[in-house]
Structure 1
């Protein structure tokens, strides 16, 4: 039954995503999404917006200047390929993360990619192969949402112009809208990227307006880590950004707990700190037995009173990398689950 429900869920979300792609990104008029891929694997160059090039983009390890529209874009940043697809651009390489897919294409992006096959970069979030990146002969590398140190950056930039996250941000703690506009600049489509950002912001604002009961309510988003500890994510983290946009805030017990800007790991004896108006659990099905066997988890008020949102693997992945494809994919589902909870007085 669980497998059948998951299949039905994915199909319904794909159908919704097809509609949102037409509204959000105008793929019918995008520059390369419907173009024929060349025999050598190259895509036709993006038709840039007027004045888009040359462009210099500052980042954590300096600045990168791009002089012309790319034809082969190797993507290393998690979720960066979704931004490209929302812009109507087909990547030449996509990153693989450890989650619900092994080919680097989430369920939310399949309809945008269609039947095309794109090489996948394995272990993109840990120890990926620079040689595998070079093998696709990119003329642009996008590694915005990834932890790229100076040594790896030098290796990548020797292959092709490489764009990273902004210097003022931290690894894995990136505002989805800034990532989108940064990638839009790199591929010569800053105006289209801003349109995507505006549309998704409007969707989020509409959901928040429609549900004023969420404003100021406390929420925690947690995952059980292999160590046995619970990892609770900061309000600035990627996973929490949709909840923040809806008006949720962390509980007072976690005030000042996120010194690294991303998460705090809690041992069992500190688990009571995750109690909130709502607890959102990442990858519930995978970790259910171990979570429920924790002696303190059932004692939390949110658990006793049924105020727990249990995310499946696909939705967990989508929320972990907010962007113009994943947010429309996950938003309605998350709001529906939150609406079903009777919040405490």
Structure 2
């Protein structure tokens, strides 16, 4: 639960700041020396107004999912990182291990639901990055009582954020706008190169699906975070599904309409977890894409990474996708 009031949090934050002398800060930027010239002060507009950051932060708390990866890609280790329900319990994916420097960040449990504000306050941040999260106005005011807080843009929707804009937004907030732009360019160049090196992907259809706890499948829109990389590699949505998303992130499928999934390649999020149930359904196993060996199983780590595209996860997922897709093509 969000277990402390705004006033309590503000008071706790002041106490925590006084009790953290000598604690590790944000890696190479612990003394604020990481900032580019003339980067501060900076004002970041967001969905609940704007936040002005007067000087380079030294203790950055990441609350948005994947926001910590952006900080790590920029050479900054946050003092707090969000934890999701997946392949790790400390908020640092394997794709980010080599970018972590200094003290281990404090994990923030239940980051996508009802996280504890007191944990954030205890980390004594001087900047809170909560871009990729569903923060309402009341929660924003509570977070702002702890430290200046940066959210996503007003014209963007929770959980549907362009990773490029997330990266440059966070980069501006921490005083590294040019480096953030360079990171975006580097990753986009990787994707462009992968597409150019794999012309066999162009014009083919592919879908990424997940089995929800209710037993139904959900196939992701080509614009959804999980499927964006397939789109950028040249794949199209399955023909029977291309007009069914209607602006939604995903489309729900029951066993009666699994045939809508027929495509050239079917990628299944965390497939081993769902394998027994799926293999017990003839409507799934009889799909041509499954029978012909064009079902691609994503392991739990890749499944986590694909859900939060950013400068660290995209290269990691890209390597896995390209290898597995080409294995499926070779097998045919």
Tell whether the structures are fold-level matches, with TM greater than 0.5: yes
1:249 aligns with 2:232: no
Q: State which of 321, 326, 329 in structure 2 corresponds to 1:339.
A: 326
- 1:40, distance to aligned residue in structure 2 (A): 3.0
SS in structure 2 at match of 1:51: coil
Q: Which moved more, 1:226-235 or 1:267-276?
A: 267-276
Secondary structure at the aligned position of 2:50 is classed as strand
**Once the 2 structures are TM-superposed, how far is the Cα of residue 141 of structure 1 from its aligned partner?**
0.7
Change (3 A) 1:46 1:279: farther
Which of 258, 270, 278 lines up with 1:291 in the alignment? 278
Of 170-179 and 189-198, deviating more is 170-179
Pick from 8, 13, 23: which aligns with 1:40? Answer: 23
- Which of 62, 74, 77 is residue 90 of structure 1 equivalent to? 77
SS at match of 2:51: strand
Check the 8 A contact 1:76/1:143 in 2, yes or no: yes
SS at match of 2:285: helix
The Cα of 1:46 is off from its aligned counterpart by 4.4
Does structure 1 retain, via aligned residues, the 8 Å contact 2:24–2:102? no
1:71 and 2:58 aligned: yes
Q: Residues 344, 264 of structure 1: CA spacing in aligned structure 2 closer, same or farther, 3 A cutoff?
A: farther
Query: 2:60 & 2:224 partners in 1: Cα distance?
Result: 26
How many residue pairs match? The answer is 309
User: Counterparts of 1:234 and 1:46 in 2: how far apart (Å)?
Assistant: 42
RMSD over aligned CA atoms reads 1.8
Contact 1:46 1:89 in 2 (8 A): no
Name the SS for the 1:258 alignment partner.
Answer: coil
Q: 2:106 aligns with which of 119, 122, 130?
A: 119
The answer to whether 1:324 aligns with 2:311 is yes
Q: CA deviation at 1:244?
A: 1.4
Q: Which residue of 1 is the match for residue 205 of structure 2?
A: 218
Length-normalised TM-score, structure 2: 0.89
Q: Which runs of 5+ in 2 are unaligned?
A: 1-19
Q: How does 1:1-345 map to 2 (within 5 A)?
A: 39-42=22-25, 43-114=30-101, 116-342=103-329
Report the Cα distance in structure 2 between the residues aligned to 1:108 and 1:344, rounded to whole angstroms.
28
> Per-residue CA shift, 1:11-44, capped at 9, x if unaligned?
xxxxxxxxxxxxxxxxxxxxxxxxxx96234332
From the superposition, tell whether residues 261 and 161 of structure 1 become closer, same or farther in structure 2 (CA, over 3 Å): farther
Q: Give, in angstroms, the shift of residue 343 of structure 1.
A: 8.9
Match of 2:7 in 1: none
Q: Which moved more, 1:242-251 or 1:78-87?
A: 242-251
Alpha-carbon contact 1:140-1:162 (below 8 Å) kept: yes
Note if contact 1:277-1:344 (Cα within 8 Å) is conserved in structure 2: no
Q: Is the 8 A contact 2:35 2:175 kept in 1?
A: yes
1:152 CA displacement: 1.0
Q: How does the TM-score come out when normalised to structure 1?
A: 0.86
